[in-house]
């Protein structure tokens, strides 16, 4: 990946794409204050430099039958690097785990898990998660509702690097 020094135009492009990844290049260029060809070149450079990892549809889980979201705090028996990496590799194979973060403190990992209902979550918990190698304990917290779900990071379009 090539390092790109971000200027105000790059930040505007990133901010606008983060809000709407399907924005046409012509509209993106207009909002950034440049013409379409240089906008497309900048966009490709931002992709090549790793600032843009992909484009995704934002799909409401409940519309596809995933009515339960659980945050599971997972403790491991061993925190040796090989064991941490092995657990992360295992988690990547579980489609119901949508996010996984390694933490400091009492909890080694927090997982965001979607499930159809509590019965299906309980099956995943008892047959997959707690049965996984090196897992010592799991604390599950059921989400009641999501009040905010912002993707990405705050981008100040007026700031230069």
Q: What's residue 2's pLDDT?
A: 58
What pTM was estimated for this model as a whole? 0.87
Give the position of tokens 């090549």: 48
Q: What's residue 4's pLDDT?
A: 66
Using N-to-C axis directions, what is the helix angle for 25-32 and 8-19, rounded to 10°? 140
Q: What's residue 151's pLDDT?
A: 87
Q: What's residue 13's pLDDT?
A: 97
**Structural domain span for residue 82:** 61-142
Considering the domain boundaries, does residue 43 fall inside one? Answer: yes
Residues 94 and 127 in one domain: yes
Residues 18 and 91 in one domain: no
Low-confidence ranges of the chain (pLDDT < 50): none
The total domain count for the chain is 2
Considering the domain boundaries, does residue 36 fall inside one? Answer: yes
Tell me the C-alpha distance between 46 and 10, whole Å: 8
Task: Count CA within 13 A, CB hemisphere, residue 132.
Answer: 25
């Amino acid at each position: 990946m090539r390092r790109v020094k971000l200027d105000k135009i790059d930040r505007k492009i990133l901010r606008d794409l983060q809000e709407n990844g399907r924005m046409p290049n012509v509209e993106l260029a207009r909002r950034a204050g440049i013409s379409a060809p240089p906008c497309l070149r900048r966009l490709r450079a931002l992709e090549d430099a790793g600032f843009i990892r992909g484009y995704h549809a934002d799909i409401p889980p409940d519309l596809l039958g995933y009515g339960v979201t659980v945050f599971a705090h997972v403790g491991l028996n061993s925190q040796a690097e090989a064991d941490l990496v092995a657990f992360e590799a295992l988690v990547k194979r579980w489609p119901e785990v949508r996010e996984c973060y390694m933490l400091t403190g009492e909890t080694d990992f927090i997982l965001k898990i979607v499930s159809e209902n509590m019965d299906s979550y309980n099956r995943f918990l008892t047959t997959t998660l707690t049965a996984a190698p090196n897992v010592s304990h799991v604390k599950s917290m059921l989400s009641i509702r999501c009040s905010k779900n912002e993707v990405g990071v705050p981008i100040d379009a007026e700031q230069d690097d």
